[in-house]
């Protein structure tokens, strides 16, 4: 659905050239409508009021906004499936003087959320640092154009600002993806930026030697619980962030709807509506949830694999199977492809996970098949795919 909006909005050539349009492009209509209707106070440097930011992310339950001069009213779609009060807390944090740290298992939409928050508050989520084991302090603070530095010495023109420095100057939200993948001593260069809201550039003398954050600047970091843990973050840095845990989607029906919608959006092409098999989504999401939680809705215990069975992975599997169906339609049975794809998700770096998946097949899948459900019987009959 989201992709369709983007393609409608972008001029034909551009739409064809961009694989993944940024959120401010996909949701231009919604952002414009919210800004036009927004009667509430906006914090300094913000494009929308806190209430409008929450509406942008959580939707308005189908209520449409009429924009003067535009014929069609605009619906504010629900983009994040989860408790509204979590988003409200995130927004309130960003008005204050602490950064926001979104933590959680992989694939729970932390990055998506940080982009949506940055877009609603600052108009774009492009000021982003991707944390890796090789991230340096220069990438967080500033670097130099060495040719100019040698030629002219340290001068403002030779300075290469980091996204954080640019965000401080412009009063915008900056995103720091996977902050805990950086070395703790590199992470610590954020401490003074977050507490003093000022970045010293000792090489420059005079006024430009210190950059003060303009109103609107703040930091949204994300951290994945499966990578290097938040536990290694220094206590001093932890105190500069409000932590918000993003949990997997609680309701099975909502997760199924999201997986179907996200897969359809990923496959949408102008003038062509992708077909997403409902039974495939239902069975796949049920299997993912059983393996993720270690328990089925019937109350049966399941051995959880070491891999994360994330919603994002479920979207990827449904997208692949639907794509295969589109390219190789003759006699294609989507459900028969599920075990093979599942194996690819489950077996990442622990070979014993295959045994856990087989045990799941010999347990819940077999029992459901024996209870006479036709589609579970078909899945049970595909068991040998898991052994090869």
Ligand X SMILES: Nc1ncnc2c1ncn2[C@@H]1O[C@H](COP(=O)(O)OP(=O)(O)OP(=O)(O)O)[C@@H](O)[C@H]1O
Residues that bind Mg ion (CB under 5 A): 111
- The residue among 57 and 325 lying less far from ligand X, judged by its C-beta, is 57
- The residue among 111 and 296 lying less far from Mg ion, judged by its C-beta, is 111
262, interface contact from Mg ion, ligand X, none, CB < 5-8 Å by kind: ligand X
Asked if 285 touches ligand X (CB under 6 A), the answer is no
Asked if 262 touches ligand X (CB under 6 A), the answer is yes
| Closest approach of ligand X to the CB of residue 19, in Å | 14
Asked if 135 touches ligand X (CB under 6 A), the answer is no
Angle at 253 between CA 318 and CA 57, to 5 degrees: 85
Asked if 107 touches ligand X (CB under 6 A), the answer is yes
Q: CA nearest 116: which of 78, 157, 63?
A: 78
112, interface contact from ligand X, Mg ion, none, CB < 5-8 Å by kind: ligand X
Asked if 116 touches ligand X (CB under 6 A), the answer is no
- The residue among 122 and 311 lying less far from ligand X, judged by its C-beta, is 311
Task: State which of residues 65, 112, 325, 365 lies at the interface with ligand X (CB under 6 A).
Answer: 112
Show contacts of 348-356: CB within 8 Å, 24+ apart.
Answer: 348/306, 348/307, 349/306, 350/305, 350/306, 350/307, 352/306, 353/305, 353/306, 353/307, 354/386, 356/291, 356/303, 356/304, 356/305
- The residue among 88 and 195 lying less far from ligand X, judged by its C-beta, is 88
| Closest approach of Mg ion to the CB of residue 216, in Å | 24
Asked if 128 touches ligand X (CB under 6 A), the answer is no
The span of 38-46, 109-117, 277-285, 320-328 binding ligand X (CB under 6 A) equals 109-117
Using Cβ positions, the residue closest to Mg ion within the complex turns out to be 111
Q: Which residues contact 137 (CB under 8 A, 6 or more apart)?
A: 186, 189
H helices of 96-188, where? 110-122, 137-140, 146-152, 163-170, 184-187
Tokens 């930026």 belong to which residue? Answer: 193
Task: State which of residues 119, 159, 213, 258 lies at the interface with ligand X (CB under 6 A).
Answer: 258
Tokens 């003087």 belong to which residue? Answer: 97
Asked if 249 touches ligand X (CB under 6 A), the answer is yes
Q: Which residues contact 228 (CB under 8 A, 6 or more apart)?
A: 180, 181
Residues in 304-343 that interact with ligand X by CB under 6 A? 311-312, 315
| Closest approach of ligand X to the CB of residue 78, in Å | 8
The span of 110-118, 139-147, 194-202, 329-337 binding ligand X (CB under 6 A) equals 110-118
**Cα atoms found within 13 Å of the Cα of residue 197, Cβ hemisphere only:** 17
| Closest approach of ligand X to the CB of residue 65, in Å | 22
* Residues constituting the chain: 388
Residues in 194-223 that interact with ligand X by CB under 6 A? 222
**Other C-beta atoms lying within 10 Å of the C-beta of residue 271:** 6
The span of 52-60, 108-116, 146-154, 333-341 binding ligand X (CB under 6 A) equals 108-116
Angle at 235 between CA 230 and CA 238, to 5 degrees: 60
**Cα atoms found within 13 Å of the Cα of residue 140, Cβ hemisphere only:** 26
**Other C-beta atoms lying within 10 Å of the C-beta of residue 29:** 18
- Residue 171's region, left for phi above 0, alpha for psi from -120 to 50, else beta, is left
Separation of alpha carbons 322 and 300, rounded Å: 30
Separation of alpha carbons 236 and 333, rounded Å: 55
Task: State which of residues 122, 187, 224, 286 lies at the interface with ligand X (CB under 6 A).
Answer: 224
Residues in 68-87 that interact with ligand X by CB under 6 A? 80-82
Q: Write out the residues near ligand X by the rule CB under 6 A.
A: 80-82, 104, 106-112, 222, 224, 249, 258, 262, 311-312, 315
């Amino acid at each position: 659905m989201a992709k369709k909006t983007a393609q409608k909005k972008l001029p034909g050539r551009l739409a064809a050239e961009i694989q993944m349009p940024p959120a401010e492009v996909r949701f231009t209509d919604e952002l414009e409508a919210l800004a036009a209707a927004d009667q509430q106070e906006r914090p300094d440097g913000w494009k929308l009021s806190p209430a409008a930011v929450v509406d942008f992310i959580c939707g308005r339950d189908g209520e449409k906004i009429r924009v003067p001069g535009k014929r069609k009213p605009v619906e504010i779609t629900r983009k994040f499936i989860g408790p509204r009060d979590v988003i409200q807390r995130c927004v309130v944090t960003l008005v204050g003087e602490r950064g926001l740290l979104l933590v959680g298992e992989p694939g729970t939409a932390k990055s998506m959320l940080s982009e949506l928050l940055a877009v609603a508050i600052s108009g774009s989520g492009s000021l982003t640092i991707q944390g890796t084991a090789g991230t340096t302090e220069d990438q967080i603070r500033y670097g130099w154009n060495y040719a100019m530095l040698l030629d002219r010495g340290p001068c403002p023109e030779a300075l290469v600002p980091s996204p954080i420095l640019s965000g401080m100057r412009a009063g915008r939200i900056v995103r720091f993806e996977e902050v805990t993948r950086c070395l703790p001593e590199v992470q610590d260069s954020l401490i003074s930026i977050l507490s003093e809201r000022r970045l010293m550039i000792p090489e420059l003398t005079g006024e430009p030697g210190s950059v003060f954050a303009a109103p609107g600047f703040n930091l949204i970091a994300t951290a994945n619980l499966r990578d290097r843990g938040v536990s290694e973050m220094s206590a001093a840095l932890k105190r500069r962030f409000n932590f918000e845990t993003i949990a997997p989607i609680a309701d099975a029906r909502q997760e199924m709807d999201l997986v179907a919608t996200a897969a359809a959006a990923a496959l949408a092409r102008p003038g062509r509506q992708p077909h997403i098999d409902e039974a495939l989504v239902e069975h796949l999401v049920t299997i993912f949830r059983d393996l993720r939680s270690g328990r089925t809705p019937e109350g049966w215990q399941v051995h959880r694999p070491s891999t994360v069975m994330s919603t994002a992975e479920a979207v990827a599997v449904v997208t692949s199977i639907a794509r295969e169906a589109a390219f190789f339609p003759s006699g294609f049975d989507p459900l028969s492809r599920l075990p093979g794809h599942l194996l690819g998700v489950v077996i990442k770096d622990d070979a014993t996970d295959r045994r856990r998946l087989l045990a799941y097949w010999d347990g819940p899948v077999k029992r459901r098949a024996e209870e006479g459900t036709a589609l579970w019987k078909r899945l049970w009959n595909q068991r040998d795919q898991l052994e090869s």
